[in-house]
Amino acid sequence: MLLRHSGFALALAIALGAHLAAQNAAAPRPAPPPVGGCPPVPAAFHTCALEKAKTFTPPRTRSGKPDLQGFWRGRLSQSFSVEGVRGNEPLVGSDVMPWEIAPPMVVDPPDGRIPYQPWAVPIGRIGVNYSQYLDPRTACGSGGVPRLALQDANQILQPDGDAFIVWLHEDHHVQRMIAMDGRPALGTAIKVTNGDSRGRWDGNTLVIDSNNFSGYNWFDDSGNFYTDNVHIVERLTMIDRDTIHYEVRVEDPKVYTRPWTLVWAQVREKEQGFELLEEACREGQRDLGELMRDGIKFYFDPPWRGR
Amino acid sequence: MRQGPTNVLLAVLLSLAATPAAAQAPALSRTSDGKPNLQGVWQVLNTAAWDIQDHAARLGVPAGQSVVVGNEIPYTPAALAKKRQNFENRATADPETKGYLPGVPRIMYMPYPFQIFQTPGQIVMVFEYDRGIRNIYTNGTQHPRGPLNWWLGDSRGRWEGDTLVVDVTYFTDETWLDRAGNFHSDALHLVERFTPSGPDHITYEVTVEDSNVFTRPWQMRMVLYRRKEPNVRVLEYDPGRLLDEAGAQRDK
């Protein structure tokens, strides 16, 4: 979660400048560095990265596939809202966990807003979900797709035989198994928190096509959501040895007026001897009872879940 | 030697006699770095999750034969009393009833499939039950510095011939070995041995050591069966979430 100002968001920066100057009389923060040689704002990164990908040859596995293996962390991403956080957002002034001003990770539509159908607008976007329901991740559910790739370290493995790619996330011990062997989709009655993923290579890009989601997930802390009807296509493309362009196309005709796209980066974690550790959430949680007593509801009931 | 018909016949007979029966079995599938390929979806076909020793049927529990070698668990006298108490209270005292991770080795013999993935430096086991993940590092690294208390322990493996030997340590004391009250302390230390006995079977042996609870090390042994259905997948059984959901429905 990093503060971002850039030439691309110049107008926003100017508008924020006065607000921030009033809020924080300390020395201005230095401009954040480029990511993979591209501007550190999702929309500008997206254009620049795809250009770089045209001329970058990724390292190869023993079996000749692009080698995406290793430990990665999300960059140009924050968990508060995929629509970005504006300077006039009241939660920026929160005592408990102040939200940080950030540009949107939604790059299409270009206004950076999720194209919700009218009924869904008051539910996502710091609406009904946020104020009435327990964040599924807080309840020790999986952060889900694509939220998992926003936070905490992750590991990509390309096991022997190339029948599967495995994507492990430290957050609440979650795994994704991406079948690369062209197998058929699961039947629609089977629903899985992180969906059922089937992948293929499109040149040097790993394309992951996922269905069969349980719908029990949000995109971010704001409560932006999808249903169990959602179809998600992710594209992972290395643009240099330590940077992956990560693009997520979301389609759910029950919720949105059209498909839309998120972009951020995965940057290699290079600490010597790094490993993902066990994070046993449910076994350690102590606060759920109190949250229930405060009237927060489990996110099981809403009509936007098929079950 | 002249290749007369008698010599040829003799050569053929000798070569047949010299070939042991075992060499006729199909060769083990191997990974690109020459190790036995353990990849695939596996599952046990026993009742160890309910009770690792010989047991008659109980309501909701099938009868089963012991996976404990010799059927005897060498508890200290105090620990044996605790085991009996656990057994009496098992319906609520078993931590697994709360939807917690069942620990190792219990997660290996829960009646749900799991999938093994192999790279040269890391073997990953992904469990349908409770989103369990075991990372078994085969890259020559040692256990990290403790103390640590993990639900599925820390696993470091190496190959001895065609057997994967895994040393597992750093456990909590909050898991049981089965639903019958068999338990351990946080001093639990395991040595597992995975030996393929053919393309579709792995013999899984685990030596259990815990000086707070047992008077000596003891062993479990069982077979892991390859799930052979085409396109078989490890799905998801998240008991904690299902418990929350059932509770939410009740409280409506």
On the question of pLDDT at A18 being above 90, the answer is no
pLDDT of residue A41: 96
Residues 6+ apart with CB under 8 A from A49: A36, A38, A237, A239, A243, A245, A263, A265
Contact residues on chain A for B119, CB-CB shorter than 8 A: 69, 157-160
Closest CA–CA distance from residue B108 to any residue of chain A (Å): 17
B124 → closest Cβ in A166, A273, A297:
A166
Q: Is B26 contained in some domain?
A: no
Tell me if A213 is assigned to some domain.
Answer: yes
Q: According to the model, what pLDDT value does residue A174 have? A: 81
Name the residue range of residue A247's domain: 40-298
Q: What average pLDDT does the segment A129-142 reach?
A: 84
Q: Which residues pair with B64 in a beta bridge?
A: B55
Q: Which two tokens stand for residue A74?
A: 């999300």
Establish if B12 belongs to a structural domain.
no
- Give the range with max mean pLDDT: A140-144, B10-14, B186-190: B186-190
Residue A160 touches partner B, C-beta closer than 8 Å? yes
Q: Which of A86-95, A145-154, A272-281, B78-87 ranks highest by mean pLDDT?
A: B78-87
B26: left (phi over 0), alpha (psi -120 to 50) or beta: beta
Q: Is A157 close to B31, i.e. CB distance below 8 A? A: no
Instruction: Give the contacts of B33 (CB within 8 A, at least 6 positions apart).
Output: A160, B120
Lowest average pLDDT, out of A112-126, B104-118, B233-247, goes to B233-247
- What type of residue is A196? D
- Report the 10 Å Cβ neighbour count for A301: 14
A174 reaches B (C-beta below 8 A): yes
Tokens of A23: 């809020």
Task: Round the average pLDDT of chain B to a whole number and report it.
Answer: 91
pLDDT grade for B176, boundaries at 50, 70 and 90: very high
| Euclidean distance between CA atoms B137 and A157, whole angstroms | 13
B197 min Cα distance to partner chain A (Å): 20
- Check CB contact under 8 Å for A300 and B248: yes
CA atoms within 13 A on the CB side of A197: 25
- The CA distance from A171 to A141, in Å, is 10
| Average of per-residue pLDDT across B208-237 | 97
What is the ipTM score, two decimals?
A: 0.87
A297 touches chain B (CB under 8 A): yes
DSSP classification of residue A12: H
Q: From B245, which residue of chain A is nearest by alpha-carbon distance? A: A300
Length of chain B, in residues:
252
- Spell out where A124-242 has E strands: 133-134, 154-157, 164-169, 174-179, 196-202, 205-211, 231-240
Mean pLDDT of A168-189: 90
pLDDT band, residue A259 (cuts 50/70/90):
very high
Nearest to B101 among A142, A276, A280 (CB): A280
Partners of B100 on chain A (C-beta within 8 Å) are: 280, 282-283
A177 chain-B contacts, CB cut-off 8 A: 115, 117, 126, 233-234
**Domains in chain A, number:** 1
DSSP secondary-structure letter at B84? H
Confidence band of A147 (pLDDT split at 50, 70, 90): very high
CB contact burial B49-62 (16+ within 10 A = b; e otherwise): bbbbbebeeeeeee
Quick check: is A8 in a domain?
no
Query: Is the residue at B14 inside a domain?
Result: no
Residues of chain B whose beta carbon is less than 8 angstroms from a beta carbon of chain A are 31-33, 37, 39, 99-101, 115, 117-119, 122, 124, 126, 131-133, 135, 137, 141, 144, 150-152, 172, 174, 231, 233-236, 238, 240-241, 244-245, 247-249
Domains in chain B: how many in total? 1
- Please answer yes or no on whether B135 and A173 come within 8 Å at the CB atom: no
On chain B, the residues whose CB falls within 8 A of the CB of A287 are: none
Per-residue tokens: B229? 């259905």
Question: Is position B103 within any domain?
Answer: yes
Chain B interface mutation, best of A61, A137, A175, A198, highest count of B Cβ atoms under 10 Å: A175
> Residue B190: its pLDDT value, please?
98
Nearest to A196 by CA among A205, A185, A207, A182: A185
Question: Is a pLDDT exceeding 70 seen at residue A17?
Answer: no
* pLDDT at position B132 over 70: yes
Q: How confident is the model at residue A6 (pLDDT cuts 50, 70, 90)?
A: very low
Which residues in chain B are contacts of A160 at CB distance < 8 A? 31-33, 37, 39, 118-119
Q: Which of A30, A263, A285, A247 is nearest to A137 (CA)?
A: A285
CA distances from A227 to A214, A218, A256, B89 (A): 8, 10, 10, 41
Residue A27 maps to a domain = no
Which residues of A fall within a CB distance of 8 Å from B150?
Answer: 277-278, 280
Cα Dmax for chain A: 58
Task: Check residue A2 and give its pLDDT.
Answer: 36
Q: Identify whether B197 is part of a domain.
A: yes
- Report whether pLDDT(A7) > 80: no
Beta carbons of B124 and A173 less than 8 Å apart: no
Tell me the mean pLDDT in the region A103-122: 96
Of B37, B100, B124, the CB nearest to A282: B100
B244, pLDDT greater than 70: yes
Confidence of residue A1 (pLDDT cuts 50, 70, 90): very low
State CA A145 to chain mean position distance: 7
Give residue-wise pLDDT tens across range B24-54. 556 789 999 999 999 999 999 999 999 999 9
Query: CB contact, 8 Å: A273 with chain B?
Result: yes
Instruction: Indicate whether B24 belongs to any domain.
Output: no
pLDDT in the model for residue A301: 67
Distance from CA of B96 to the nearest CA of A (A): 10
A174, A177, A280 ranked by CB distance to B115: nearest:
A177
**pLDDT(A207) > 90:** yes
Query: Domain limits at B105?
Result: 35-250
Q: Is residue A188 part of a domain?
A: yes
Q: Residue A11 falls within a domain, yes or no?
A: no
What is the pLDDT, as a whole number, of residue A22? Answer: 47
Q: Is the pTM of this model over 0.95?
A: no
**Contact of A285 with A140, CB cutoff 8 Å:** yes
Residue A26: inside a domain: no
Say which DSSP state A70 is in. E
Candidate from A159, A164, A278 with C-beta closest to B152: A278
A3 part of a folded domain: no
* CA–CA dist A108, B229 (Å, integer): 41
Tokens of A49: 């990265």
Q: Say yes or no: A283 contacts chain B, CB-CB below 8 A.
A: yes
B116, B173, B233: best mutation site toward chain A, by most A Cβ within 10 Å?
Answer: B233
Band (pLDDT 50/70/90 cuts) for residue A155 is very high
| Residue A32 lies inside a defined structural domain of this protein | no
**DSSP assigned state of B58:** B
| A192-196 contact pairs (CB < 8 A, 24+) | A192/B235, A192/B236, A193/A141, A193/A142, A193/A144, A193/A217, A193/B236, A193/B238, A193/B241, A194/A142, A194/A144, A194/A145, A194/A148, A195/A145, A195/A232, A196/B233
